[in-house]
Amino acid sequence: MRIATWNVNSITARLPRLLAWLESSGTDVLCIQETKCTEEQFPAAELREIGYESAIHADGRWNGVALLSRVGLTDVVKGLPGGPEYGGAKEPRAISAACGPVRVWSVYVPNGREVSHDHYTYKLNWLAALRTAVADDAAGDRPFAVLGDFNIAPTDDDVWDRAVFEGSTHVTEPERAALTALRETGLSDVVPRPLKYDHPFTYWDYRQLGFPKNRGMRIDLVYGNGPFKEAVKDSYVDREERKGKGASDHAPVVVDLTV
């Protein structure tokens, strides 16, 4: 079984690449972030034509999450239970479902903007709510994983130059402590580092030749519980999908399971 996560940075803009990638990669379950569409605009029909069921949680703004599956899609939960509001509303940043033998969450963690910004506090509160929401599944016997764009680099080795990020979000101790707290529910990072290259970044800014110069970050993560981790037989970052015209600024992260 092949499971992946991908921040597509607008599913409308990325649809041709998404459809081609799904067919060529053999992915069974895909967690999507940053759909940037309404639920009515989501291309469920096009995805159904190539064999995928869809579950979408979106409001048309810059966020939005989805799950695609060709192995079943049941017990869908939209939103983060107990999650905080921002600007008077609960943003569509989480969706979960059972897909065949596993249960997965697709999450798009708030960016945080700046350490002094109220969005940073919102980010930490959102992560605390995520920890509470996944604790039971993380401790269970069924393979379970939280996949998505966490907007946090777990270690200094997960950014191209730590000095560049000094005083910025994505690398602060409170953010990393929130990741540690999430792992303490029974989850672990199932995509080892290094992979087939020294720095398996998953995001590269469009500006200043970020990708050609490999000035990236590893912020798209797969956190699985014990049964999920035991089933992992391979994992990789599909850097090829970050290349060329019309690419997202994130690359898919792929995990193969023996389930």
**pLDDT of 196 over the 80 cut:** no
User: What average pLDDT does the segment 21-48 reach?
Assistant: 98
Q: Is the model's pLDDT at 195 over the cut of 90?
A: no
Q: What is the pLDDT of residues 212-231, one digit of tens each?
A: 999 999 999 999 999 999 99
For 94-149, how does the pLDDT look when each residue is reduced to its tens digit (9 = 90+)?
999 999 999 999 999 999 999 999 999 999 999 999 999 999 999 999 999 999 99
Q: What is the mean pLDDT of the chain?
A: 95
Local structure of residue 83 (DSSP, 8 states): P
- The CATH number assigned to the domain holding 82 equals 3.60.10.10
> For 50-81, what is each residue's pLDDT tens digit?
999 999 999 998 899 999 999 999 999 999 99
**SS3 assignment, position 256:** strand
- Supply the range of the domain harboring residue 191: 2-257
pTM exceeds 0.75 for this model: yes
Could you give the number of structural domains in the chain? Answer: 1
Phi/psi at 122 (5° precision): -60, -45
Q: Is the model's pLDDT at 204 over the cut of 90?
A: yes
250 pLDDT exceeds 70? Answer: yes
Cα–Cα distance measured from residue 117 to residue 123, given in angstroms and rounded to the nearest whole number: 10
Q: Are the beta carbons of 7 and 122 closer than 8 angstroms?
A: no
State the pLDDT at residue 61: 85
pLDDT at 185: 98
